[in-house]
Amino acid sequence: MATKKGQHLLVDLFAGCGGLSTGMENAGFTPWFVNEIVPQYCDTYRANHQLPDGHCYVGDINELNKSIQDYKAILKDIDLVCGGPPCQGFSTANRQRIIDDPRNGLYRAYLQFLQHIRPKFFVMENVVGMANKLTEIKEDFHKFLGDEYVFDAKVLEAKNYGVPQNRRRLIFIGNRMGVNPADIFAEIEKQKREPFVLRDVLDGLPPLSVKEPKGKAGIENYESGLTVRSFKYKRNAFYRFINGDRVITKLYNHKNRYNNPRDVEIFRRLPQGADSTHESIADIMPYTRRKDIFKDKYYKLEEGKICKTITSHMKYDCNMYIHPWEARGLSPREAARIQTFPDDYVFQGAQNSWYAQIGNAVPVKLAEVIGKAIMKFL
């Protein structure tokens, strides 16, 4: 795959399954080089994006930086480098934060890559908690990039750009083209719109029954869900939002997972918007002596509102993401739709890995508005 005149080349670091890349591709960028350490995530990325041979580095970014000379020929004239370094140490959701967590140094590896490649623009996406270290991070930016680049950071809320969930992320944008980052954020601001709600996401998808028995993950059927099946979508406004005018005839990754009978009964009883403290499940609720701590153990989503933040915890269970009108958790496809992945984006690996990939991703439509704003200055 040779580059064509007029293409705007994209490098995606810590790429995961490709949420950022998909949004940037929608905005007009061409995915050109990818780094991701988890092989299954790379499998998903490559299944959904056309990359030239040798343009996917599966491994630690620190090792990539050590061997960067081997890639200099294909990393010339890069328009945009984007990525979201793993952020557990900064996350406000991490109650057992370890200040010296080595994962917090990966953003420095990201900056080292920028130092080597010198792209025209860069985007770094991360948790809002990273803003607590903003002064220190800016010092690191200057240390690695010098005065050639100008950059700034702003918290963006995905719901302000149509995404049907609460998700706040800190977005760093920089460039060496003399563009004021405030002008780029102003272009992002112009793309604001009302969010879709959960009803829009779920409307028209086939129901899923309870999956039994546990331990027979390979067994599939139409009732509890299939990895892939023929399907006629309801082409409503949300369908067009994530898919455009394309006609998609397959339904992927729409499967229920096993839940024990007690959980299924809890799912059935809870009204929308209720959590573990609701009186309807008092007689069967586990952890009754510590329900103040475990009040979020179960939560039934509300169809008329946006969803709570989709996270990788869904790989363990979906008890905090109970379907509004079915006695089950959200399927991977439903979670992917909330993250605004197109319906023909196929996730590879095991079902728990699908959830992890989706939960760790950047919402596609949020990435798209960022990409469109940057494209204005290329």
Q: Which CATH number fits domain 8-194+362-375: 3.30.70.260, 2.60.120.380, 3.40.50.1780, 3.40.50.150?
A: 3.40.50.150
Instruction: Specify the domain boundaries for CATH 3.90.120.10 within the chain.
Output: 198-360
Looking at residue 5, its pLDDT comes to 63
Question: Residue 1 pLDDT > 50, yes or no?
Answer: no
Contact status, residue 370 vs residue 124, Cβ threshold 8 Å: no
Q: What is the pLDDT of residues 307-334, one digit of tens each?
A: 999 999 999 999 999 999 999 999 999 9
Q: How far apart are CA 234 and CA 49, in angstroms?
A: 26
Helix (H) or strand (E) holding 127: strand 121-127
Out of 17, 87, 307, 318, the active site residue is: 87
Distances (CA, A) of 334 to 71, 184, 263, 331: 38, 32, 20, 5
Q: Domain 198-360 sits in which CATH superfamily?
A: DNA Methylase, subunit A, domain 2 (3.90.120.10)
Helical pair 39-48 and 351-360, crossing angle rounded to 10 deg: 80
Looking at residue 40, its pLDDT comes to 95
Contact status, residue 116 vs residue 68, Cβ threshold 8 Å: yes
Q: What is the pLDDT of residues 34-52, one digit of tens each?
A: 999 999 999 999 999 999 8
Question: Residue 377 pLDDT > 50, yes or no?
Answer: yes
Question: Residue 337 pLDDT > 60, yes or no?
Answer: yes
Cβ density class 294-303: b for 16+ within 10 Å, e for less: beebbbbbbb
Looking at residue 136, its pLDDT comes to 78
Question: Residue 99 pLDDT > 70, yes or no?
Answer: no
The pTM score is: 0.93
| Percent residues over pLDDT 70 in the chain | 90
Question: Residue 100 pLDDT > 50, yes or no?
Answer: no
Stated length of the chain: 378
Mean pLDDT score across all residues of the chain: 90
Burial of 136 (0-12, 13-18, 19+ CB in 10 A): exposed
Q: What is the pLDDT of residues 181-208, one digit of tens each?
A: 999 999 999 999 999 999 999 999 999 9
Instruction: Specify the domain boundaries for CATH 3.40.50.150 within the chain.
Output: 8-194+362-375
DSSP string, 225-277: EEEEEE------HHHHHHHTT----EEEEEE--B--HHHHHHHHHPPTT-BTT
End-to-end CA distance of the chain: 22
Burial of 139 (0-12, 13-18, 19+ CB in 10 A): exposed
Q: How far apart are CA 65 and CA 242, in angstroms?
A: 35
- 165 strand-pairing partners: 307
Helix (H, G, I), strand (E, B) or coil at 222: coil
Closest CA to 14 of 64, 69, 74, 76: 64
**232: confidence class by pLDDT, cuts 50, 70, 90:** very high
Question: Residue 265 pLDDT > 90, yes or no?
Answer: yes
Identify which of 64-68, 143-147, 214-218 has the greatest average pLDDT: 64-68
Q: Is 87 a catalytic residue?
A: yes
Measured from the Cβ of residue 231, the count of other Cβ atoms closer than 10 Å reads 16
Helical pair 106-117 and 134-145, crossing angle rounded to 10 deg: 30
Looking at residue 108, its pLDDT comes to 82
Question: Residue 96 pLDDT > 50, yes or no?
Answer: no
Q: What is the pLDDT of residues 273-286, one digit of tens each?
A: 999 989 999 999 87
Mean per-residue pLDDT, 97-102: 45
Amino acid at 207: P
Query: Under 8 Å CB-to-CB from 249, ≥6 apart: which residues?
Result: 230, 231, 232
